[in-house]
Structure 1
Amino acid sequence: MSTKFPEIQGGGSLILAWQIKNKEVLVVGGGEVAAGRIVNLLNADAKVTVVCPREGLNEEVAYRVDHGQVRHIDRIFLPLDLEPERKVAMVLTAVDDPEASTRIWKYCKEMKIPANIADVPSECDFYFGSVHRDGPLQIMVSTNGNGPRLAAAIRRQIGRMLPKGTGDSIEKVGQLRRRLRRAAPGKSTRDISKRMGWMSAVCDRWSTEDFNAMDDEDMETLVDYYESGKVPSFEEVRLGNRGDVVWEFDGSFGWM
């Protein structure tokens, strides 16, 4: 078989960044697993409703209810919770009742609502992975339901390997992209390809430390290079942008 194209490895999941902002998500249950799910949902700016008798809420979920971070329905799940007018975009269950969980999953199938039934991979339309978070950076490790504990260990290892300040540098890249679009707002395919190509070249040449050190003046100077197509080094930008500063070479830029 030809090795020209990527080899297909079946059995995986389609890893996506699901934009759930301002969408209604129903969480059934109020224990430790539900608490973890709720944190993930709130970090994604979802509108969360928890269905669970008050006595079933653990300390963390009760805190989020009491502080208005989530809406609470003080009873067990009922099919009416999935009525179309409620506009539920996703359902997560985390209850110690396999039969009840399966019934909820079947209701979701009828309503065509994506669902995750905790600890029952066969009744999940999607899985939660172990996520490393650093500002805008999110890295998810998924074992497709086979080993959540191992996924967490791998996630921690990846986090330790990343350069310090990676999240901050990504913030700077986002600012640079927005500034570039303002400076070169063309919307044709050619314009978009040129912007993407130039940004890719900048990201390839500049390090995490370079982006972290970049300030607004540096950013403006860097964008000025765009029309020429040149991608300067951080040192070229900084030296050219600080004409009022006397630079004393100490070898720190790595020049020979």
Structure 2
Amino acid sequence: MFKNLILALLVIFSVSSCSDDPTEEKEPLTIGSLVDVDGNVYETIVIGNQTWMAENLRVTKYSDGTEIPLVVENNAWGDLQDGNVDKAYCFYDNDEEEYGGDYGALYTYAAAMNGAPLIEVNTQGVCPDGWHIPSESEWHELFDYVGGVVTAGGYLKETGTSHWKKTESDVTNEYYFNALPGGSRYLYDGTFDRITSVGYWWSSSENTEYDAYAVSLSNSTLGVYTSLYGKSYGFSVRCVED
């Protein structure tokens, strides 16, 4: 019986040692770079089986050189009611110098998608060649990889308060995604809101001709949210590699 007890203890020790090795190291981060048609350079990051931009997009043209319409006036933005046709972009508060470099630009769904039909797979839209607007499922592949929607924000948001109004102590930016709160532009009257507090990013996945899915991160929670929004909202864009 004593020998059996010793064997049982050895098995338990062996299993616990294999499953909880304090010296086990995480895979090193794979950081790259990407250049858009305007010459802007972005860092990229490999997370699981995906490669993501580690910054918000700030391009003003499509990859073929076609200009994206810049809409400045609030009432003109409010007139963008055809969510599949009315392409527009802007910088928060129409101040590219103050906000563009760090937070990127805000795009309507039509601008982000460049008018592509929903049936297309890996829609390039406003992204550089070889990259595309992530679908809702691709966003959730990312969230699942970093631990699920309840805590994903802690692993994806930039740390500190240089860009976030406040951050929780559990925010680590462990995967170097550098999520930033670029705010939004309201679809009905073109007003700007919530920079430094909330980041919104388009997915390619639409619900109807009027609305599509976007994901958001807030300074008040570690969770990530997927919701439907009118297509004429101005939101940030992150691209994922084909």
TM-score range, shorter chain: under 0.3
Q: Name the structure where strand makes up a greater proportion of residues.
A: 2
Higher relative contact order, structure no. (Cα contacts within 8 Å, ≥ 6 residues apart): 2
Q: Name the structure where helix makes up a greater proportion of residues.
A: 1
TM-score w.r.t. the length of structure 1 is 0.23
